[in-house]
Chains A and B, each alone.
Chain A
Amino acid sequence: MDANVNFDAREDAYSRPLDSIDVSVPELYQNDVYQPYFERLRREDPVHYCADSKFGPYWSVTRYKDIMKVAINHQVFSSKWELGGVRLEDQVQGYERPSFIQMDEPDHGQRRMAVSPAVAPENLQRMEGIIRERTSRVLDELPHGRPFNWVQEVSIELTSRMLATLFDWPLEDRHRLMFWSDVTVCHVDTADAPVHSEAERYAELQKMAAAMKALWEERAGGNAPRYDLISMLAHSDATRHIDFRELLATCSLLIVGGNDTTRNSMSGGVWGLSQFPEQYQKLRENPELVPSLVSEIIRWHTPVLHLRRTALADFELGGKTIRKGDKVAMWFVSGNRDEEAIKDPHDLIVDRARAREHISFGFGVHRCVGNRLAELQLRILWEEILKRDLDIGVMDKPKYLRSNLIHGVRELPVQIH
């Protein structure tokens, strides 16, 4: 399937034969033309088989309720890296990344519990002050009356600082963490990707892991309780003995989890509210709606487009039989726009009823462990924007990342009036 910018996606989505629809094509997301394809699939073929794609044959699960069924059934739908992992793009042999997001029980659970306290409510309270102070500083220093890229000046600035704090990593070196995040998520065949082969990607991540290992060794010896992710991993019985490869994989998971998704929600939210000005007006008049807005932005933007599972047994879903060994993609970006589960799903509504019931964080045992931290950062950003009553004018459509995994916003030109 092709997806140039200059074609009518709706026309194409509804005129081509159903079985030729392949929603794994990264350009669909880069060019922001994916919705009509999912709309048709939800209506006509909600559990859809694509026999031939760049990533091999795979199933697409597009409805909210069906995605939930797959997500909670970890007995049948495996995340294991040995079977290919959690992205449609299989792990390449020799370069697999065995982090706990790509493990099943009990290995997954033990490791998840090692890092969970770092982002649990008690620890977040400790972080709220510092997040607010930084957010205030960044907003106060923004230029007025001339255009700038919101992604660079706000979203990346804030989430890179957050990431440095989570790892207790030198703040002045935070751009290296961002670089490794981009290295982890890119498709290596993208023209301006930071790396162009799996070997190159792995080499960069080895540098990252070596740097983390040095911090680890320093911190493993200390007695005073520390709350950063490295110390938690170094001190937990479940993770203190992990090998270098797992350390690499785990840190790269935490780097991506801890920044990329939140970064893109910060940009997606500004874009979303610019499309629904009457909603922004309602928000300005009712700042107590910020928590609800945050959930709504996370739904509307859907920072993680899909995650994949591998079937361990035959399974009936939506009248189809998924066979043992098949790849199954849960398209969160479609579930969040499912008319049967969510009223007026394409609208961003700041006071939506039950706004928390979106599917962006996944469900079941792998459900996002960092969701509270993501919400906290977004809540503070919007509280501080409203406090200053910033008039953010969006000058042009966003430029998106070429990815079928991460809903990445690379540029969002704005001007503050």
Chain B
Amino acid sequence: MQQSESTHSTETAGVQSAQEAPGGEIIRFDKVVKRYGSNVVLNELDFSVAPGERVTLIGPSGSGKTTILRLLMTLEDIDGGVIWVNGEPLSHMRRGDKLVKANEAHLRSVRKNIGMVFQQFNLFPNMSVRKNITEGPVHSLGVSKDEANQRAEELLDLVGLNEKIDAHPTQLSGGQQQRVAIARALAMRPQILLLDEVTSALDPELVAGVLDVLRNIAQTTDITMLCVTHEMSFARDVSHRVLMFDAGQVAEEGPPEQIFGDPQEERTKSFLKAVLEHG
């Protein structure tokens, strides 16, 4: 591939030369910068995730975990660097040999590979459970109504809520709503599933049901998962790798047995100690 080595930049923010796309990785953060005003949340963050890998992000509040997931879901603009998904730039598009900021059409197409489950569920309150789940497949993937309904039924079986298909979100408990939200995300058949503290808004007795559903998904699918959670035993069960974040940087990473059993960094140790004391 012919690459020009030109260094001139344009005024478009985040413009970079389109180097070769990374391979063997489904996600790669390449010197990603994210600021809110003068607050630099991510400062040239690098990390990558392999296809099918389940990664847990831990770290103190404000360390940038949510920001990472929101950047991946393209809910936030990136201030520098490039995020690669499947070797394609996420928040940028190729124009010739340049990468320029993605337009809305590009964003809509890349988002289809990625699903997200939110802390506050964010179900559509004006739609039935069924509609919540079929809306995306029908109107953004162009799946037929019949097929979308079938997916909805299968997924509600998976999350144990098939009898609630015609209920409205307001009629469900928080735990049930979150399970519907998981089904809604999966109905898009994303390659990557982002989970941002999906049990932290739930009453304690409802947490286990949601985590069981996620364990089941982890065991029975090869979906790539990025999961922010304070549920350490869940993280130990499902994740291949744990990333400990501090101040927008990876402070320590490794398999869960190592991070939870034998952390090396002082920051990891004190963070885990704090979580254990409060959990």
Q: Do A and B come from one complex?
A: no
A-to-B contact residues, CB < 8 Å: none
